[in-house]
């Protein structure tokens, strides 16, 4: 969920999900610690935590009361969620770690995954924060990157790319997740459809990727 929120820049929902850690007292995972950094960086740069409905150009064009009304109407909830998240995290022993936990990280794993992600021109805010991290910490986030790549490939109906990324996830022992299991099931269904229709895998993938099939 955090991977999806960060990649879609849905900081409202991301903040709500992150509340799970300080409210339950669970140890912050690498992904959660990273997501908190992303939200904090975005808020520091913008002066507030924007939502999908916030348009900086519109906000800049407004003045006085109209600007305040627009500001409150579009970001009040993210401000509330971020404030609650910070307040909950300020309790002794509940704050996110100062550095991303990297125990068990495989050297070079993040770079290999990014090599596949970078085929997509999409660049969300999280990438700037990611690039500021040292390599041991980026490798600890390899499992956080896999769901981002899987979802992008499925959204693009790039099933060859989905297979390639899933194969890499298995190779890196990062396929033990619901996202990876569901991606594998999608490929299995496509293969089954190909057997039923008698088409080759390439023909089947082309048919499934066609908007006409969906309609």
Walk along the chain (215 residues) and give the pLDDT tens digit of each residue.
Answer: 999 999 999 999 999 999 999 999 999 999 999 999 999 999 998 777 877 666 666 666 767 777 777 767 777 888 899 999 999 999 999 999 999 998 888 999 999 999 999 888 888 899 999 999 998 999 999 999 999 999 999 999 999 999 999 999 999 999 999 999 999 999 999 888 878 877 655 555 555 555 444 43
Residues 6 or more apart from 109 whose CB is under 8 A from it? 139, 142, 172, 174
pLDDT value at residue 201: 56
pTM of the model: 0.82
Domain span at 19: 2-89
Both tokens of 126, joined, read 């999280």
Residue ending a domain, among 89, 118, 145, is: 89
Both tokens of 53, joined, read 């409905």
Helix 159-171 vs helix 109-117: angle between axes, to the nearest 10 degrees? 180
Residues 49 and 139 in one domain: no
pLDDT value at residue 207: 52
pLDDT value at residue 112: 95
How many separate domains does the chain show?
2
For 27, counting Cβ atoms within 10 Å of its Cβ (0-12 exposed, 13-18 middle, 19+ buried), the class is exposed
Both tokens of 166, joined, read 């899933």
Residues 120 and 189 in one domain: yes
For 102, counting Cβ atoms within 10 Å of its Cβ (0-12 exposed, 13-18 middle, 19+ buried), the class is middle
pLDDT value at residue 59: 64
Residues 154 and 67 in one domain: no
């Amino acid at each position: 969920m955090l991977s999806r929120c960060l990649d879609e820049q849905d900081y409202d929902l991301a903040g709500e999900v992150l509340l799970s850690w300080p409210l339950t007292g669970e140890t912050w995972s690498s992904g959660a610690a990273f997501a908190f950094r992303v939200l904090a960086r975005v808020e520091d740069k913008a002066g507030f935590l924007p939502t999908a409905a916030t348009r900086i150009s519109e906000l800049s064009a407004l003045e006085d009361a109209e600007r305040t009304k627009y500001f409150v109407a579009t970001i009040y909830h993210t401000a509330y969620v971020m404030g609650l998240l910070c307040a909950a995290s300020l309790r002794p022993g509940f704050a996110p770690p100062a550095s991303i936990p990297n125990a068990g990280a495989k050297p070079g794993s993040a770079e290999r995954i990014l090599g596949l992600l970078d085929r997509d021109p999409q660049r969300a805010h999280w990438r700037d924060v990611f690039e500021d991290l040292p390599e041991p910490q980026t490798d600890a986030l390899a499992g956080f990157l896999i769901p981002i790549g899987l979802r992008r490939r499925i959204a693009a109906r790039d099933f060859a790319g989905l297979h390639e990324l899933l194969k890499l996830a298995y190779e890196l022992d990062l396929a033990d997740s619901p996202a990876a299991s569901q991606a594998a099931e999608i490929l299995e269904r496509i293969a089954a459809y190909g057997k039923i229709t008698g088409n080759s895998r390439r023909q089947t993938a082309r048919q499934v990727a066609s908007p006409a099939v969906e309609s």
